[in-house]
């Protein structure tokens, strides 16, 4: 089965993933891998505008990795992770969406240079 997209973690997302304990990181990456081949709205869903989130519940902790689609290349679809958080409230903070959007804009700015 062909993957629906390729995945990259931008710098802030890498730092967040590296800060997780090994088992939590493994679970998050398993969920990313799983969403590459199947459409599971519990694991990967739109948040607002261009921003999406990978959702993981592990060891009673909610982990969110924010991301966006880069479909500029018609051959390959890429999902770029911007940053991650431990989710402590039922609502996503506006500041997290704004942060993801800022990183998305920086990504496209540096890509288009």
Query: Looking at the whole model, is its pTM more than 0.85?
Result: yes
Superfamily of domain 6-111: RelE-like (3.30.2310.20)
| pLDDT tens sequence across 29-42 | 999 999 998 988 99
DSSP state of 106: H
Rounded to a whole number of angstroms, the distance between the first and last alpha carbons of the chain is 35
10 three-state secondary structure: coil
DSSP string spanning 66-105? EEEEE--SSS--EEEEEEEEEE-SSS--HHHHHHHHHHHH
The pair phi, psi for residue 38, each rounded to 5°, is -130, 155
Distance in angstroms (rounded) separating the CA atoms of residues 98 and 82:
11
pLDDT of residue 75: 65
Res 98 pLDDT > 90: yes
**Would you kindly state where each structural domain of the chain is located, as residue ranges?**
6-111
């Amino acid at each position: 089965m062909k993957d629906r997209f390729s995945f990259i973690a931008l710098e802030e997302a890498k730092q967040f993933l590296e800060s997780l304990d090994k088992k939590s990181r493994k679970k998050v990456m398993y969920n990313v891998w799983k969403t590459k081949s199947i459409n599971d709205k519990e694991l990967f869903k739109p948040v607002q505008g261009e921003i999406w989130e990978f959702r993981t519940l592990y060891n009673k902790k909610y982990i969110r990795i924010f991301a966006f689609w880069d479909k500029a290349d018609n051959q390959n679809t890429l999902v770029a992770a911007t940053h991650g958080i431990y989710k402590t409230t039922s609502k996503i903070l506006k500041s997290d969406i704004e942060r993801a959007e800022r990183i998305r804009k920086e990504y496209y700015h540096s890509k288009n240079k």
